[in-house]
Amino acid sequence: MIRKLFRFVLGVLRFIGRSIEFFARGVIYLLVALMLGVFVAIFMHPAPQVPQGAALVLRPTGTIVEQAVLDEPFALLRAGGVSAGRVVLSEQLEAIRAAASDERIAALVIETDRLQGAGLSKLSELRDAIAAFKAAGKPVLARGDHYDQAQYYLASTADEVHLAPDGFVLMRGLARYGMYFKDALDRLGIKVHVFRVGEYKSFAEPFTRNDMSEEDRASSRDLLEGLWTQLRDAVATSRKLTPDAVDAYVNGYRDVLAAAGGDAAQAALGARLVDRLSTRDQWRALLMERVGRDSAGKDFRQIDADAYLEAVRRARPAASDRIAVIVAQGTIIDGEEPAGVVAGDTYARLIREAREDETVKAVLLRIDSPGGSAFASELIRRELELTRQAGKPVVASMSSVAASGGYWIAAGADEIWAAPATLTGSIGIFALFPEVDEPLRRLGISVDGVATSPLAASFDPRRPLDPAAAEAMQLGIDHGYRRFLDTVAKARRMSAADVDKVARGRVWTGQAAAGLGLVDHVGGLDAALAATARRAGLTDYEVVWPEAIESIEQRLMRRLIGLAGRVDALHGVAAVAVSPLGGALADMERNARELMRWNDPQHRYVHCLCESP
């Protein structure tokens, strides 16, 4: 009886086990089928068709960047699950460049309402590409419900600029203001020891001052005036105005608005910043008239930049020779990291792999970085130097910012290109050491112990910094600065003394840096890419973009987000607007997160407290 009962129970258990196994296999098969379906939908869909006589639509959503990275999960949660949106500059340039000579494309349409931000140099490169499109004899039309300064700078290059009747053109000029924490730190009893070389190396000033130093003030004023001159003159030229007329609109906006009875759209029209005021339906009707109707007859004949670029790339024959464009975007840190920061070990490996790849004939380093770890910067520069020694040309192309550590890595190239509005230079070095001895004492917490040598516990933030340790730190910083000068001097064929005259932590525009000998040529990504091909003796080549390794899940998420972004664009979903206060808090959070990433082994940093306006 017991044996029968045992057999019965065993049979039941076997049945349950087989059922679970069957169910598990079913779930696995279902997941595999789902993944295959997603793969086919995303990767195997047919190439988009380019209508004959269509308008290429440039509708940037989010921020224009050099390299797209995935949003962090918590950032997505804070944003309600909506990605902020990133537009890769090189892809937009490639689409516009291809469309200029494509007989299927009859016009370029620019809509700027979803553009949330971009460095001046990136917008300038887009403007140059649009100017080349116009030179091919094809019209360019732009419209916005309203324009902030970045949106208008891009749109103003069009042949015809439209604005909504209730819109505005808000050009505010350029400014640089920061927060200073000395009094707050003093009240908390926190001391921040700063070790630096260069009176213009202002990164640490917020921790040691209550206001901007005179050196930083003078340097910042010169920098902003140089950048504003570039922006203002470009707008004036595009709109056939004088620079004084643009200045009058910006500086006297209240009076301009008062003269128009408070009607901001009429004020912009009266200042000749726009050509026509049009509602969205009037704009669409105009485009149907200028370009023609689509097959359904309900909209104008068009193709968006992403779909057009995909069609062009699929039709392009593969080439045997390649140029590797390695994008260094973000803070430079030590170690291995995925895309989003410039990790020393990761980028050294990317450069080494390009050097050892026989199909790669040259390397273009595209830099958009304010710097960071001195150790990681030298690691990357050395790999570029080894690549040159191996006989492969290396060219550096500077985007919005290539300063401090960003400039250090550029010194590993055969030649350096910078955009006129690039922020570069900031040749200097610093270290920070916080001391929290007093706040602990206020809380009644004491720190005591023993050590085998004076330096053993010298860099414990809970204890006062030992004077000998402070002197040792400054000696190391002085040496690091001399190393920076020598590295630049060797690369630029200058004396260290001459480099020092334009260094000391000072930031320059790309235009000014060219006159000082810090860069070789002024030009954008396309010009630098052409120079790289010339150095390598290439006429027929493919451009590849090596990136930090991502998991399959990350790659799938990137494609899904990109697909979702395209669907949103088709359905007219606007980008999420950010309030000024929200933007300021987000900047503070981002800066704090960046500081937490700093991990130079010797705590020495070549970083520029600067960003492109």
Q: What is the DSSP secondary structure assignment for residue 452, as one 8-state letter?
A: S
CB of 447 closer than 8 Å to CB of 524: no
| 481 CB-near residues (< 8 Å, 6+ apart) | 197, 198, 428, 429
> Which pLDDT does position 198 carry in this prediction?
79
Per-residue pLDDT band for 201 (boundaries 50, 70, 90) equals: confident
Quote the tokens at residue 205.
């000033």
Write out the E strands in 314-386. Answer: 322-329, 332-333, 342-343, 360-369, 371-373
> Which pLDDT does position 77 carry in this prediction?
46
* 278 counts as catalytic: no
Per-residue pLDDT band for 561 (boundaries 50, 70, 90) equals: very low
CB of 230 closer than 8 Å to CB of 421: yes
pLDDT in tens, 223-272: 999 999 999 999 999 999 999 999 999 999 999 999 999 999 999 999 99
CB of 131 closer than 8 Å to CB of 96: no
Write down the catalytic residue from 122, 191, 201, 392.
201
Is the predicted pLDDT of residue 204 greater than 80, yes or no? yes
Q: What is the mean pLDDT of residues 397-403?
A: 96
Give the span between the Cα atoms of 356 and 354, in whole angstroms. 5
Is the predicted pLDDT of residue 7 greater than 70, yes or no? no
pLDDT in tens, 15-54: 555 555 555 555 555 555 555 555 554 455 677 899 999 9
> Which pLDDT does position 522 carry in this prediction?
97
> Which pLDDT does position 184 carry in this prediction?
93
Q: What is the mean pLDDT of residues 564-576?
A: 37
Give the span between the Cα atoms of 578 and 576, in whole angstroms. 7
Q: Which residues of 402-415 are buried (b: 16+ CB within 10 A; e: fewer)?
A: bbbbbbbbbbbbbb
Query: Which of 312, 389, 357, 330 is closest to 590 using CA atoms?
Result: 330
Per-residue pLDDT band for 582 (boundaries 50, 70, 90) equals: very low
pTM of the predicted model, to two decimals?
Answer: 0.82
Give the span between the Cα atoms of 268 and 260, in whole angstroms. 9
Question: SS3 of 415, please?
Answer: strand
* 201 counts as catalytic: yes
Q: Where on the phi/psi map is residue 286: left (φ > 0), alpha (ψ -120 to 50), or beta?
A: alpha
Give the span between the Cα atoms of 106 and 287, in whole angstroms. 12
Three-state SS annotation for 377-407: HHHHHHHHHHHHHCCCCEEEEEEEEEECHHH
pLDDT in tens, 504-531: 999 999 999 999 999 999 999 999 999 9
> Which pLDDT does position 325 carry in this prediction?
97
Give the span between the Cα atoms of 148 and 154, in whole angstroms. 10
Q: What fold is seen in the domain 54-175+227-313?
A: 2-enoyl-CoA Hydratase; Chain A, domain 1 (3.90.226)
* Choice among 170-179, 388-397, 413-422, 576-585 with the minimum mean pLDDT: 576-585
Please report, as a single letter, which amino acid is at residue 538.
L
Per-residue pLDDT band for 432 (boundaries 50, 70, 90) equals: confident
pLDDT in tens, 77-101: 444 444 458 899 999 999 999 999 9
DSSP H helices, 493-598, are 496-502, 510-516, 525-536, 552-570, 580-597
Q: How far, in whole angstroms, is CA 506 from its chain's centroid?
A: 22
Which residues sit opposite 322 in a β-bridge? 360, 542
Residue 541: C-alpha distances to residues 99, 247, 394, 424, 544 (Å): 19, 45, 16, 30, 10
Q: Is 474 exposed, middle or buried (0-12, 13-18, 19+ CB in 10 A)?
A: middle
pLDDT in tens, 102-154: 999 999 999 999 999 899 999 999 999 999 999 999 999 999 999 999 999 99
Looking at the structure, give the CATH architecture of the domain made up of residues 319-428+481-607.
Alpha-Beta Complex (3.90)
17-26: list long-range contacts, CB under 8 Å, 24+ apart.
none
Tell me which residue has tokens 């509708």.
59
Write down the catalytic residue from 220, 404, 458, 612.
404
* Choice among 23-27, 273-277, 477-481 with the minimum mean pLDDT: 23-27
- Rounded to the nearest integer, the mean pLDDT of the chain is 85
pLDDT in tens, 463-473: 999 898 889 88
Give the span between the Cα atoms of 9 and 572, in whole angstroms. 62
